[in-house]
Structure 1
Amino acid sequence: MKTPSSRPQRYALVTETYPPEVNGVANTLGRLCEGLLQHGHQVELVRPAQTGEYPGRDEAGHLSEQRVLGLPLPRYTELQVGRSARRLLTQLWTRQRPDSIYIATEGPLGWSALRAARRLEIPVVSGFHTNFHQYTEHYGLGMFGGAAGAYLRWFHNQSTLTLTASLTQQNELARLGIQNLAMLGRGVDAERFHPRHRDAGLRRSWQAGEQDLVLLYVGRLASEKNLDLLVHSWRAVSEQRVNNEGRVRLVMAGAGPLRRKLERQLPDAIFTGSLTGPELARLYASADIFLFPSLTETFGNVVLEAMASGLAVNAFDLAAANQHISDRYSGCVATAADEHQFLDNLQWLMADVEGLRGVRLHARHSACQLTWDGIIQRFAGYLQKAAATRSSAAAIAPAGSRPRA
């Protein structure tokens, strides 16, 4: 695999979540790190120690890991934020200076990494992976939404470039006042997520035959995912017949604080908990329609995973769905927050057998074009460009100039 730069470089990636943690940010960072290594770059990964690990340092080939102390994230106790580690990172990057640094998260660890990088005058590229400023409304903290937005604006405007996952997100961040935005996008492994993993035995365990339709949700069971709309939609269609004889089933995959409440609201649904690897691929491929009611996504990796698995996605015209779905051709997209249209689209998918079949075929075809290779090359190019900007500035700096404190 050819490297997009003229020589291998050393990059640092700072993130407060990483595989095997299960979320879109961890999945993306795992892909980006793996991709840089495959291109021959050296990577310094800075992250919190996970369950069963200790803070410390490991090195294996071109990958070095610096694990720091973490704290559980409020309302997301299975995830952590890394504690501030400015002194440690300053020492580390003084000994082994990265060409540029990618900061994926804006918590205490990301904030301290930004401060260390600025002190050492190392170029920083930041990523916007989570709309935490929008989450405040879902957790009774709406009064802090403005402060959260101001902090995110300050944080990202300290970096050379802020990478976004989708065009809709890029537009939203521009309105927030964040500058120097660039689109990175996301890919999907269309071999891992593939219709061939469909499992009739798994469907039977859901009491679903081939004439039945299985509706699927994969994601966190939390308020910001707009799951009240999913509950409402299910109640509206749960008794609907499929092709005059089939039934409809609902499968919910994921974990989160709303699970018990949802189990009470959806007594006929199957709750699987969080799944990964082959189990997750089999789950996707064994369903028929993917429900994605969220209005707060920066992207929504699950949308591409569902499409690659041959599912018809029913979502709002935002983030990944906005970018990669043609309405009633490769999925269904409703105008943002238009719940009636969301439900109408679902009912159309369930009622039109040929329409559903065509949507599923086109969804798979569209997803197959979205490989990670192009995303990795673009990502490496952004990091290389940031490093080159620093090199050019250093070349013309006056003798005796010193890094800023």
Structure 2
Amino acid sequence: MRVLYFTESLYPHVDGVSRTLARLFAALPQRGVDFRVVSPFIPGSEVPWADRVVGVSWIAFPLYRDYRVSLPGGRRVRRLWDAFRPDLVHLVSPTPMAWWAKRRARRRGVPVVASFHTHFIAYLPYYRLRPLERLGWPVLRAFYRGCARVYAPSPSLVRELRAHGVERVGRWSRGIDAALFHPARRDPALRATLGVSDTQPLVLYVGRLVREKDIGDVVATARALRARGVAFRLAFVGEGPCRAELERALPDAIFAGYRHGEELARWFASADVFFFPSTTETFGNVVLEAMASGLPAVVSDRGGPADLVIDGRTGFVVPAHDVVGFGDRLAALLTDAGLRQRMGTAARQRAEGFEWGVVHDRLVASYRAVVRWAQRAPVPMRALAAWRA
């Protein structure tokens, strides 16, 4: 089976989408899947599948300049398509290039699947673009119309997409490297370097430092805890345009920048509580990594993280933007080492059930089912499906 991917997120750009795709691309060959990737990002030669990527022209995404948006078409992409002759096209984001690829696949009778990774509609209010929300869902419905499958990463997103009229929605979950993210990686030397004693609880946030991650709730909650006299340190792992603002608002916080691989795993395991109030997550990879590292997590009840955390057992799920509620739950954890230990152990046990191998097997099985359906469908049926797309 040959699959052609169109994605705006790929190494060396690092986010949850690019990390998920890197895992998938490493696993596909052993499952009998040949693939090519069209992207504005080109991985370095150290990436085993880098020679399968074709770069395209792009422009910077206006709301976040680190993101690139592919320009549609192009001679290199058409040549790749004709030479590779894909059995299936997978669209990762609803970009101009993806719209072009969907039309080309329709004309050539190639089935298309798509995945929902980034909740751009939920981002709009953070950039004073709330009026555009009215247009967002009709555009997404039009984009996903005619796709044989639309993959969402969490039960919450499956329900939301269906509620907004998106059809044929299925689940493509995420996994965890439970050997990499492990409580045994706790590093007293790292804590000492940060000036954090063994008895001082360390609260950790991992993610981009951007408004749509609800970092304002992190600031407000930290200040409220300080006012209550709760002892703790706060660390941010990640970068973004709001870093300077955060440094001014929380001068005693620790800012570690980007961390990857074993170094990131050390930061997770060396903390005591994970705090992630974002309401725009489609899954919450960092929440699962924190849980695998043995941390209880305090998260919002809106979005993917609420599907991962079992309230009162592996952490706490708090109503969105409820700073008082966040503070109460964090205070309970920060002042009770026994509670942290019990919830952290339960979090680790839950995270161990998210196996990448199972995730990849299920996705490839879905791919094969779509291709078989397309091959069996009579020509008039395929023409009708294409017309409806």
Q: Taking structure 2 as the reference length, what is the TM-score of the superposition?
A: 0.92
Contact (CA 8 Å) 2:44, 2:50: kept in 1 or not? no
Displacement of 1:351: 2.0
- Does 2:349 match 1:365? yes
Contact (CA 8 Å) 1:291, 1:313: kept in 2 or not? yes
Displacement of 1:151: 1.2
Describe the SS at the equivalent of 2:107: helix
Describe the SS at the equivalent of 1:191: coil
Describe the SS at the equivalent of 1:291: strand
The runs of 5 or more residues in structure 1 that have no matched partner are: 1-8, 54-58
CA distance in 1, matches of 2:321, 2:210: 17
Residues 367-394 of structure 1 show CA distances to partners (whole Å, capped at 9, x for unaligned) of: 111111111011101111111111001x
CA distance in 1, matches of 2:299, 2:288: 12
Residues 257-293 of structure 1 show CA distances to partners (whole Å, capped at 9, x for unaligned) of: 1111111001000111111122111111111111101
What is the aligned counterpart of 1:49 among 13, 32, 41? 41
CA distance in 2, matches of 1:239, 1:27: 38
Contact (CA 8 Å) 2:210, 2:242: kept in 1 or not? yes
Matches within 5 A, 1:381-400: 381-393=365-377, 396-397=378-379
CA distance in 2, matches of 1:91, 1:23: 29
What is the aligned counterpart of 2:183 among 191, 195, 212? 195
Displacement of 1:340: 2.7
Describe the SS at the equivalent of 2:161: helix
Residue in 1 aligned with 2:24?
Answer: 32
CA distance in 2, matches of 1:371, 1:167: 17
Matches within 5 A, 1:237-276: 237-238=225-226, 247-276=231-260
- Does 2:342 match 1:350? no
Displacement of 1:40: 2.6
Residue in 2 aligned with 1:5?
Answer: none
Matches within 5 A, 1:3-402: 9-50=1-42, 64-85=52-73, 88-238=76-226, 247-393=231-377, 396-397=378-379
Displacement of 1:92: 2.9
Contact (CA 8 Å) 1:253, 1:271: kept in 2 or not? yes
Describe the SS at the equivalent of 2:4: strand
CA distance in 2, matches of 1:318, 1:13: 29
Of stretches 61-70 and 345-354 in structure 1, the one that deviates more from structure 2 is: 61-70
Give the share of equivalent positions with the same residue, in percent. 36
CA distance in 1, matches of 2:327, 2:165: 34
Contact (CA 8 Å) 1:101, 1:122: kept in 2 or not? yes
Q: Taking structure 1 as the reference length, what is the TM-score of the superposition?
A: 0.89
Describe the SS at the equivalent of 1:273: coil
Describe the SS at the equivalent of 2:20: helix
Tell me the matched-pair count: 384
Letter in 2 for 1:15: T
Contact (CA 8 Å) 2:37, 2:53: kept in 1 or not? yes
CA distance in 1, matches of 2:167, 2:346: 36
CA distance in 1, matches of 2:311, 2:149: 32
